[in-house]
A and B are shown apart, each in its own frame.
Chain A
Amino acid sequence: MTGAAPVPAQFFDGHSARRHAVLVSPTRDGSGLMIERAERGGTAEIWPLDRLRRLADTAGRGELILTRLAETEDESPRDVARLVLSDPGLIGWVTQNAPGLDRRDTRQGTARRIVTRLALAVAAILVMLFVILPRMSDFMAERLPLETEQRFGRAVVDQMQRFLGARDGQNLTCEAPEGVAALNRMVARLSEGRDLAYPLQVGVLNHRMVNAFAAPGGHVMLVRGLLDQAESPEEVAAVLAHEIGHVEARDSTRLMLRAAGSAGIVSIVLGDVSGGTLVAIAGEYLLQSAYTREAEAGADRFALEMLNAAGVSSQGMADFFLRIGGKSESSIPEYLSSHPSSAARAGRAAENAQARPGSEPVLTEDEWRDLRAICDGFSVAP
């Protein structure tokens, strides 16, 4: 190919928008392209082969658009001039002989720039998610008027009833008088001599699910399945103490505020591309469970302290976690789950119980029977 006759091509010098007709040929020594202006008095220049770069991902078959590697202020280190070749022979020669035609030529320090920028972004987001949002939501939760929180709590309890399958207006609360008396007795025993931030409103919902939850504003709801599964009043007392812990720490209000703040962040960061949505959901879940795990551990500590102060054995807590945990415990590792592992919690409770012998039953046999019968005759979720 070297020594071949020059072929016509088009050239843009990058200074003006004028199209220049040029004649292009390989230089004699084959180390570059000789570009001669076809117009009268035109100049000639040589583009060395090793600095030739082609425009990538372009349409237009049978065309090769060339530029040169050059240190510029532009987004990529490329010369402003363009050479458009359409002669198949010359295109073939260039593609075979130009060594760096498709090289990307990143500028020096690019990797460092990416890493710094990425680190800054990640740090800013983490600080936002784990320092600023939690602080702000805690601050706000503490300043929410009690009345507002209680009203919101009632709405949450209603929502929960609907979730359990209550039809419009159906009330799932169990109110057998003897049962209610027994429950109040248990609450009184646990909170005796304590200055609680909220007047507690404890109730039982008629559904076979084994569960209990604390809603904002001092609401604690036990679900009937829990009473059915519990083998002693101490087990129920342990759950109750745990939920009272959530109430005292204003966990549900705080967590809700945090969730509101972080919801948008995760989806913005991960984008909304096909795979990204799944990742966003997973990220949101991980984040929430990190918040929740912390709250659960706090409620556990509070419960043990409360049981100890009331002279109730925490062996009930250990038994309950072991039995319920053994059934539902999946292979989810602790850091993925919103609750600490049941075995670990049971272990802590048993240890606490052994250190404190001489406890008194939280309810009498009769009261325990009444409590378990609190839902007898009340409407049940369909």
Chain B
Amino acid sequence: MSQGNGTVRYDGERGALFKLAMKTGLLTVVTLGIYRFWAKTRIRKYVWSAASLDGDRFEYTGTGLEKLLGFLIAVVFLAIYLGIVQLLLTFVGLGFSLEPQSQWEVIAQILSIYISFFAIVPFLFFATYRAQRYKLARTRFRGIRFGMDNAAGGYVWRAIVHWILTILTLGILLPRQTFWLGKYMTDRSHYGDARFEQGGRWQDLYGAMKHVFIAIVILVLAAVAGGVLNSGVLAAVLGVVGYIWLIVGFVAYGVQSWAYMTSNMTLDGKVGFIATPATGQVLKRFILGGLIVGLIAAVGFAALAAIFAGTMQMAAYGMGPGIATIVVMAVAYLLLIVALGALSLVFITQPITAYLCERLEVQNVRALDAVHQRAADKGADAEGFADALDMGGAF
């Protein structure tokens, strides 16, 4: 706490989180998925409260009930919208059905297939903003609410334009997109009566992208080796290296662009943030956790497959698998899925979250004392659109 800096800590425990995730996961299965709103809420309550700034814990105040109600609204809306769009597109698509007669018909047919995806794109962006707003509105620190302006519409068209630009420039303008979309959200976020502000320049994010560019150079070399030098082995080796480098490059971009954006954020012009995560450390936790979860998954599925093969063998001798066997298999399968979800939360998501918290520092934390409460946000759909579209990560 020297020079008024506040440290962020994360003290979530493996055992406690695993127990919570298993319990809520099982309840979700038993209730045919209805409990998932409560499950997500309870996991968030745990994770939020495990994070603390200057010794004070964050709090998540969302409720499963409001998420269910918000989901119901979103579902009706989406079901009607998508049902009609889909039907119209199939009708149009039929006109150019399976045997296209001309080039134009091929293009039209492909378009009609893709339009059904594009029809939900605006909702994906809408849901992204609304979900972020809901999460902030349900986050408190020292009893004071966070919040975000009601401005999802502006986000939708900006996101569409930025994505088009990024795709047209083959990703070269990705930093511009990351920066401006991030800034749009940050500038509309509040802690109590204090406003967040995003500083910095989008050009600075190119530094975070350097490994992506290196990977692209390697992949180009691979193509040259294969096409011009006719060296299959060299092309294959370079191809694999380039591919892995590209994945690492995107992880690095994710981590470092987050660090840049966070470090250039201020609250009311007084409170600053310093994020210094190392990509290698994030990758290490990701790979280690992935190995553990992958190993358990492999063992679990192998055991299930062996049992399944055994029952099939018996079926071959005229002893068909009884209903009981099938039910046991299905239950074992669902248990395994729930356990794997809980394990990846505990071994991958939580360690990375903890690390990112550890590498975050808040400057002039004393200025927070002057922040006052803001009004409650009703949060209409409670990120129902994100839930209906199956978006959103681990929590």
Contacts and interface: CB of A to CB of B under 8 A. Distances in A.
Nearest to A273: B33
Interface string B375-395: 110010000000111100000
Give the interface SS of chain A, mostly helix, strand, loop or mixed. Answer: helix
A56 B33 CA distance: 22
A75 to B, nearest CB: 5
B142 A75 contact: no
A155 B82 CA distance: 26
Interface stretch (B11-19, B175-183, B295-303): B11-19
Contacts of B57: 58-60, 63, 65, 84
Interface stretch (B86-94, B165-173, B276-284): B86-94
A118 B49 contact: no
A288 interface: no
A87 interface: no
Interface in A57-88: 57-60, 63, 65, 72-76, 78, 80-82, 84
A75 B138 contact: yes
A59 B75 contact: no
Given A273-B36, A276-B32, A75 B62 contact: yes
B256 to A, nearest CB: 28
A110 interface: yes
Contact of B97 (A10, A155, A265): A155
Contacts of A271: 33, 36, 387, 390
**Which of A113, A264, A268 has the largest count of B CB atoms less than 10 A from its CB?**
A268
Contacts of A10: 56
Task: Give the size range of B's interface with the partner.
Answer: 35 or more
B35 to A, nearest CB: 9
Contact of A60 (B11, B82, B341, B376): B11
A137 B46 CA distance: 48
Interface string A247-277: 0000001001100111111001111111110
A261 B76 CA distance: 14
B45 A264 contact: no
A137 B83 CA distance: 11
B370 A16 contact: yes
Contacts of B89: 260
B379 to A, nearest CB: 7
B79 interface: yes
Interface in B297-346: 330, 334, 337-338, 341
Contacts of A276: 32-33
Contact of B86 (A253, A260, A272): A260
Interface string B106-145: 0000000000000000000000000000000010011110
Interface stretch (B65-73, B207-215, B219-227, B235-243): B65-73
B376 A73 contact: yes
Given A17-B192, A264-B82, A269 B75 contact: yes
A15 B145 CA distance: 10
A55 B45 contact: yes
B56 A58 contact: no
Contact of A275 (B32, B90, B191): B32
Contacts of B91: 140, 144, 257
B94 A144 contact: yes
A138 to B, nearest CB: 11
A73 B373 CA distance: 14
Contacts of B65: 106, 110, 114
Contact of B334 (A16, A56, A106, A275): A275
B351 to A, nearest CB: 14
A29 B299 CA distance: 59
A264 B83 CA distance: 7
Q: For chain A, give the interface size range.
A: 35 or more
B29 interface: yes
Interface in A110-141: 110, 113-114, 117-118, 120-121, 124-125, 128-129, 132-133, 136-137, 140
A125 B143 CA distance: 40
B50 A60 contact: yes
A59 B16 contact: yes
Nearest to B59: A55
B63 interface: yes
B248 to A, nearest CB: 29
Contacts of A78: 61
Interface string A27-65: 000000000000000000000000000011111100101
A279 interface: yes
A18 B142 CA distance: 7
29 contacts: A10-B56, A12-B56, A14-B144, A16-B373, A18-B369, A57-B43, A57-B49, A58-B46, A60-B50, A65-B49, A65-B59, A75-B376, A124-B80, A133-B87, A136-B84, A140-B91, A144-B95, A145-B95, A256-B90, A257-B90, A260-B87, A262-B83, A264-B82, A268-B78, A269-B79, A271-B33, A273-B33, A274-B337, A274-B341
Interface of A: 10, 12-19, 55-60, 63, 65, 72-76, 78, 80-82, 84, 106, 110, 113-114, 117-118, 120-121, 124-125, 128-129, 132-133, 136-137, 140, 144-145, 148, 151-152, 154-155, 159, 253, 256-257, 260-265, 268-276, 278-279
CB-based closest 4 A-B pairs: A12-B143, A59-B50, A155-B98, A260-B90
